[in-house]
Chain A
Amino acid sequence: AQTVTQSQPEMSVQEAETVTLSCTYDTSESNYYLFWYKQPPSRQMILVIRQEAYKQQNATENRFSVNFQKAAKSFSLKISDSQLGDTAMYFCAFMTHAGNMLTFGGGTRLMVKP
């Protein structure tokens, strides 16, 4: 079974600064997908970014980028130029390539301060 660990329960960052959220996972699979989802106070789960394990290039979506270290089984999320609207819970999630089910980490609560 796969496990996903987010070691930072809470973080804060000043508006316009950069913050990095950590995620590690454990799997014996060689091919899989990794995701970051955002859950703002509205509780809607919103996809932030997706990474395919066989791709060496780190995924980027505007101000959001990942540092994917396959050997270390690490998948951190970097948010640049933080905005107040980035305040939310952030969940890291894992999916096997053959499977269809997401395994979520426990989440990191991010507060962006003005």
Chain B
Amino acid sequence: DAGVIQSPRHEVTEMGQEVTLRCKPISGHNSLFWYRQTMMRGLELLIYFNNNVPIDDSGMPEDRFSAKMPNASFSTLKIQPSEPRDSAVYFCASSFTGGQNIQYFGAGTRLSVL
């Protein structure tokens, strides 16, 4: 299996622009997670989906952030408009709920908002 695939690997944008991060989970997994990693706050869960349905979005920082999972093999995290404080590494992870509950992570997207 190819593992969790995230794109792009790096993203540099200017303040005010829309940013879309993409994730393809491992085939057969039914849960998907978006995390943000910063030096100040460490690893934070933003949102998680189960069977394509958002279950907990309490970690989404504000309305500028939105996430969708239109099908079992694709999810997006969108920031509109972006701000410099959104600069971070964003990880996507997937797992099979009911199994060992092990979350497998993608390689992350490093976002820089100038």
Contacts and interface: CB of A to CB of B under 8 A. Distances in A.
Contacts of A103: 45
- Report the interface size class on chain B: 20 to 34
Contacts of B105: 37, 44-46
Contact of B50 (A37, A100, A104, A105): A100
Q: Please report whether the interface of chain B is mostly helix, strand, loop or mixed according to DSSP.
A: strand
Most buried by B among A44, A103, A107: A44
Given A33-B101, A45-B91, A47-B104, A101 B56 contact: yes
Contact of B103 (A102, A105, A107): A102
A70 B45 CA distance: 25
A48 to B, nearest CB: 11
Query: How many of chain A's residues touch chain B, expressed as a range?
Result: 20 to 34
Interface of B: 31, 33, 42-43, 45, 48, 50, 55-56, 89, 91, 93, 95, 97, 100-105, 107-108, 110
29 contacts: A35-B102, A37-B105, A42-B107, A43-B89, A43-B107, A43-B108, A43-B110, A44-B105, A44-B107, A45-B91, A45-B93, A45-B108, A46-B105, A47-B102, A47-B103, A47-B104, A50-B100, A91-B43, A100-B31, A100-B48, A100-B101, A101-B48, A101-B56, A102-B33, A102-B45, A102-B103, A105-B42, A106-B42, A107-B42
